[in-house]
Structures are given as C-alpha cells and as structure tokens.
Structure 1
Amino acid sequence: MTTDATSPAPTGPAAGAAERPNPSGNPRSLTDRIVWVDCEMTGLERHDVLVEIAALVTDFELNVLGEGVQVVIRPEDLGVLEELNPVVRRMHTDSGLLEEIEHGVSAAEAERLVMEYVRTWVPEAGKAPLAGNSIATDRRFIAAEMPELDAFLHYRLIDVSSIKELSRRWYPRAWFNAPEKAGGHRALADIRESIAELAYYREAVFVAAPGPSTDEAREVAARHALGS
C-alpha cells in the first residue's frame, strides 16, 4: 500500500493548507471545493479493474488542501495481471506500479482511505464535483468498485481534457505551449499535473478575473440566446 500521508507538504499557495480548513480566507473556499481523482487500471474494458487511486481536494482557486492520498490496489484475482496487454504492462512496469500491486490493499480499503481524506475537506455529500483528465473513464471504474465514493461526489464533472480540446481548436498557441506532462502514469503525480494544467488554461485562455460586468455579460448572453 502507498498513501501520501508521508509525502512532502504542498508548496506555493497550498502550503500550510493541511493545518487550515480555509487556507484562502475566502468563504467560497469552504463551499466550492473540487475533488480531483486519478486512477490506474489494468485496461479500459469493462472487465478491467483498478490497481491504483489517488485523490486531492482543492478550493475554487485550485489551492491543494492537505497532502492527498494515493493507494495501490491488489485485485481480488491477481490472474488479471497475466492478461495485461503489452502497452499497459510496459506502462505499469516503467512506472514501478506493477511490482507494488501484489502488496496493495483491497478496493474496499482503498475506498475507505480515500473517503477519509475527502471527508476531511468536503464534509457534505453531493457538493463537490469530480475533476481530472478524461475523468468520465475514472468515474466509471469508481462507480463499479467504490460506490460510496461515487455516491458522495456531485454528478457533475470537471474535465480538463475538454478544455484542452477546445483550446486546441480556438487558442492553438495556448494549447501548443501548455506545460509538458511527466507524471509517469502514477496516480498522484498525474493529478498534480491536471491541476497545474487547469491553472495554466485558466490564465492563458479564460477571461481574467473578475470577468465581465453584469451589463457586459447580459449583452453577450443576448447575442447567443436561441430564438432572439
């Protein structure tokens, strides 16, 4: 099992968040939180299973709260590891995950550890959306193997991949110059990269805060209202 209870404390705006329930001081930080999850699987088919999950919670400004959690999962049937396709086997071998799986915990125990961390920062169910890259795939595996976590999260998703795809079409220079990824297909590192990606696109392509005035927003809405 690997958990990030002993990982280095977050840096930058998130530093000290583990000791403060509201690190930004903004009341919205308590209500607009986001649960970031990344999973590693034996593949993407219906018969595949989770072998690692990590979670981080951020406030609405993308400040990371706490140190997160990362857990290696031992499948009930280790025989599934013999059926890995060559690409997945190479990926999990290169990352070091494959050799850790045998010593992992059950999916139920992994869910308990993730829920323990998430509830520290998101005490109320149904409030925080799930975020990540191509996160609908992760959500499908979570729903199948971690129903309590699935039910705890809001049904809406924040998919950084969608923003990347739109930026590629509308703001190609921003897309081309996005930060390079080097997470190495380990769950917690991949989450941190997803958060950094969203922070980049927020600054590179989104309207700068505080955004349009009410009148400006209404004017734009009127131009795009169907039937107007």
Structure 2
Amino acid sequence: MSEALAQKDDRIVWVDLEMTGLDPDRHVIVEVAALVTDAELNILDDGIDLVVHATDAELAEMDDFVTEMHGSSGLTEQIKASTVTIEEAEEAVLGLVEKHCGEHRPPLAGNSIATDRSFIRAQMPRLDAALHYRMIDVSTVKELTRRWFPKAYYNQPDKGMAHRALADIVESIRELDYYRRSVFVPAPGPSSSEASESTKAATEAYQQFL
C-alpha cells in the first residue's frame, strides 16, 4: 500500500446533525456538518455545514425543548429560508468523504454518535453505506476517563452551548485530542514487550470468566 493510500485509510469522518427530535422515524435532519481529520486529528479542510429545509408540519413535531433550542440559536429561521434538500446535503458529505478517503470506508466519529448514525441510516442511506460499521464515540472515552482518570475528566476543555452542528464537531475533535494528550499513553506508545506483558496480565485477570 502506498503512503498516500495508507494515509487515506487512517482518515476519520466527523458528522454532527441537528434534528427536530430524536426519533428518526418521526423527526428530520435540519442541519448537517461534516469534517475529516487525519489520524493525528488534524482537520483537513473547511468541511460541510448545511442547513436543510423542513416543512412547517415537520417543524411542528419539535417539542418545547427543541423549539427553544433551535429558536434561540437562530436555526429555525434558517431552516425555513433554506432551499437545501436532505439529498443535496447527503451528496455534499459524500463528496467530502470521497475527496479525503477515496474508496476506503472511514469510521464515523462524534459525541453520542449512535444517535446521528441512526438518522444517517434512515435518511441518508448512501452516506451510511460509504461509512465503516465501526464508530469512534468520544462519549465512550469521556465515560472511561470519568471512572479511571477523574482529575483529567474534571479538567477537560469547556464546551459552548451553541447547539449548532459545526461547532459541536470542532468541540468533539478538541475533546478527543485532550484525552489523547492527558489520558492515553504518549507516543510512540508501549514497546512490543510491554504490550505483550499487558496482554498477559489482562488475559490472566479474566481467564476464569471465559
């Protein structure tokens, strides 16, 4: 594999959606943002940030909390004014994935990304097919850090409350970069012998349950 292909194989696609609710069978995507990073979490270009049109009937499905959130952020008025369809937004993200990842199916990353993936699966099926089934959920690292490294957890970067898709992605990338610096073993990581010792210790600790 060439160096260029290997680099594309390590790319990560970050997606954040704003929706009218949390049920993909009832609610719709109203904002789509996407960025691609390399393995070192460097953002590769400006990415995608699109507001998707929704009908009045679709907006009426929002509960009071979501109505207030999208109203105060200014998103609701942008949704009404937008002419972008969900198909056009999907095509734009697919173009970003193809540009940076080629034929490789990259993992999807974000915070609590399973919710976004369920909407992608239901409403952007071509994008879903272009992504690997594996996902990188920053929330998982957050929860493990809270249990194992509480000092690092309580000193993580503050998050804004913009509730807009692109800002949420950048904050997720920044958060994972923080955990990498503060919690994960510094580069270049353990030696082969140290890794083998860790394998031995972990195997012995759980062997009785297998």
Distance in 2 separating the partners of 1:29 and 1:178 = 29
Distance in 1 separating the partners of 2:4 and 2:40 = 10
Task: Give the equivalent residue in structure 2 for 1:227.
Answer: 207
1:62 aligns with 2:60: no
Q: 1:26: how far off?
A: 8.2
Task: Give the equivalent residue in structure 1 for 2:7.
Answer: 29
Task: Give the equivalent residue in structure 2 for 1:178.
Answer: 156
**How many residues end up aligned between the 2 structures?**
202
> AA paired with 1:189?
A
1:112 aligns with 2:87: no
Question: Which string of whole-angstrom CA distances, capped at 9 and with x for unpartnered residues, describes residues 21-78 of structure 1?
Answer: xxxx987533200000000000102311100110000000001111100111113x43
Q: Is 2:15–2:108's contact at 8 Å kept on the other side of the alignment? A: yes
Q: 1:98: how far off?
A: 0.7
Q: 1:95: how far off?
A: 1.2
Which SS does the other structure have where 1:65 is aligned? coil
Which SS does the other structure have where 1:90 is aligned? helix
- Map 1:1-228 to 2 at 5 A: 28-45=6-23, 46-75=25-54, 77-104=55-82, 105-126=84-105, 128-182=106-160, 184-225=162-203, 226-227=206-207
Which SS does the other structure have where 1:67 is aligned? coil
Distance in 1 separating the partners of 2:142 and 2:4 = 28
Distance in 1 separating the partners of 2:119 and 2:26 = 10
Distance in 2 separating the partners of 1:27 and 1:147 = 25
- The range that moved more, 80-89 or 64-73, is 80-89
Which SS does the other structure have where 1:83 is aligned? coil
Distance in 2 separating the partners of 1:113 and 1:31 = 20
Distance in 2 separating the partners of 1:53 and 1:82 = 20
Q: Is 2:73–2:162's contact at 8 Å kept on the other side of the alignment? A: yes
Q: 1:103: how far off?
A: 2.3
Q: Percent identity?
A: 53
Q: Is 2:157–2:175's contact at 8 Å kept on the other side of the alignment? A: yes
RMSD: 1.6
Unpaired runs of 5+ residues, structure 1, are 1-24
> AA paired with 1:38?
D
Distance in 2 separating the partners of 1:201 and 1:94 = 31
Q: 1:83: how far off?
A: 2.9
Structure number with higher helix proportion:
2
> AA paired with 2:170?
R
User: Normalising to structure 1: TM-score of the pair?
Assistant: 0.84
User: Normalising to structure 2: TM-score of the pair?
Assistant: 0.91
